[in-house]
Structure 1
Amino acid sequence: MRKKGRQVVLDTETTGLNPKEGHRIIEIGCVELVNRRLTDKQFHMYINPERRVDEGAMEVHGITNEFLQDKPLFKDVVDDFLDFIRGAELVIHNAPFDVGFMDHEFTLLDPAAELTADMCSVFDSLVYARKKHPGQRNSLDALCKRYGIDNTHRDLHGALLDAEILSDVYLLMTGGQISLLDDGDLTDGAAEQVIQRLSSDRPALKVIECSAEELIEHQKMLELLEKSSGDCLWKN
């Protein structure tokens, strides 16, 4: 049974740009979000595409034909992959590209196979970014710069690394994490049942003042929140 509020941030690398030309998936990377919190669950797999990788694609992701020779075929990993994504909302940057390749792989195995839309909903972060930032560059690198996300370790594209980066971009772009008071499972009115009142004769709480450096970092975070959501109550 899938968890409520489960999302899978997903990226793929491929042998080329168009599955209609016989191009295949060579890497899948997924990270899990539950109630807008990153968990420790991931799915990551390199795949032998049974064809050669285009030179142009290799320049983007750096994955060579020699590296892929001993990797499993898609049919060998598809069950584990489907088990990981089924029932989740997929968060994908430029979703038609990745979904098109996924559906191509599914139908190669079985022309009557379920397609991605049959088992998942899809949130296209590129479409969302274009609506939120019209007229601006909305590549993953551009969004990292806009939201202050460090991606200096991203010299080449990699499916798992890009999925991890996209999860940070997605959370900031769509308003950050859920409320600090929301544990993700409370129903209306349930919050009152978990509030614990402190005794009036309790010892005084120790106050620890922030350092000047901590205050500067706090201000930077408030400015980032205001930039991503348009308003920041803590600054008011």
Structure 2
Amino acid sequence: MAAAALVDPDFLVLDTETTGLDDDARIVELAVLNSRGEVLPDTLPDPGVPVPDDAAGIRGITTEALAGAPTFADVLVQLTGLLDGKRCLIYNKWYDVGWLRHELTLHYLDRAARETAEEAVRTGTVPEDVRERALVWARAQATACSTSCGSRT
């Protein structure tokens, strides 16, 4: 597989680093390389939360270094464009795809909140089950996006 991947122009390698291993950790580095070893993006997204000292010590990525950087949502369109239709190798697939799914869920929850707020302003009412609907929708969107990347590993 490795030999075939090295000559496949549609083959990519993806890696992430996070603020830690706890359930609310966030991605602080996202890198994609092509089969020629060229770095496509190597992005340090601002997670919107402080980077714990122990994670900063391991990865060398500090809260200060990420201040003002684009967010995961800001790089999502570029990442989606890079991965679309490509085979994707992920060394620790379950770890990285899990964190991508987590970030995507947060992204889609933010989107659902904005859309619900706009609807509430427009109609003057807030749906009773708004939280549950938003979670179901966000998780479905995140799963669909991360499954397409994860299935190519």
Query: The TM-score by the shorter chain falls in which range?
Result: 0.5 to 0.7
CA distance in 2 between partners of 1:43 and 1:67 (Å): 17
The answer to whether 1:88 aligns with 2:123 is no
CA distance in 1 between partners of 2:74 and 2:152 (Å): 24
Match of 1:57 in 2: 55
CA distance in 1 between partners of 2:102 and 2:39 (Å): 26
The answer to whether 1:10 aligns with 2:14 is yes
Letter in 2 for 1:16: G
The answer to whether 1:121 aligns with 2:151 is yes
- The alignment partner of 1:29 has SS state of strand
Change (3 A) 1:17 1:122: farther
The 5-angstrom pairing of residues 18-29 of structure 1 reads 18=22, 21-29=23-31
Match of 1:141 in 2: none
CA distance in 2 between partners of 1:62 and 1:39 (Å): 23
Q: Matched residues, percent identical?
A: 32
CA distance in 2 between partners of 1:76 and 1:53 (Å): 19
- The alignment partner of 2:48 has SS state of coil
CA distance in 1 between partners of 2:64 and 2:103 (Å): 21
CA contact (8 A) 1:28 1:44 kept: yes
Letter in 2 for 1:11: D
CA contact (8 A) 1:86 1:120 kept: no
Once the two structures are superposed, residues 5-59 of structure 1 have per-residue CA deviations (whole angstroms, 9 ceiling, x without a partner) of 61111111111113xx2111011111112xxxx1646122110101111222112
CA distance in 2 between partners of 1:53 and 1:13 (Å): 11
- Residue of structure 2 aligned with 1:108, choices 106, 109, 114: 106
CA distance in 2 between partners of 1:22 and 1:41 (Å): 28
The 5-angstrom pairing of residues 130-209 of structure 1 reads none
What stretches of structure 2 of length at least 5 have no aligned partner? 1-7, 109-137
Letter in 2 for 1:9: V
Letter in 2 for 1:100: G
Instruction: Give the greater-gyration-radius structure (CA).
Output: 1
CA distance in 1 between partners of 2:146 and 2:78 (Å): 15
Q: What is the TM-score normalised by the length of structure 2? A: 0.67
Q: What is the TM-score normalised by the length of structure 1? A: 0.45
- Residue of structure 1 aligned with 2:33, choices 13, 31, 34: 31
What stretches of structure 1 of length at least 5 have no aligned partner? 124-236
- Give the number of equivalent residue pairs: 114
CA distance in 1 between partners of 2:64 and 2:90 (Å): 28
The answer to whether 1:67 aligns with 2:65 is yes
CA distance in 2 between partners of 1:39 and 1:16 (Å): 27
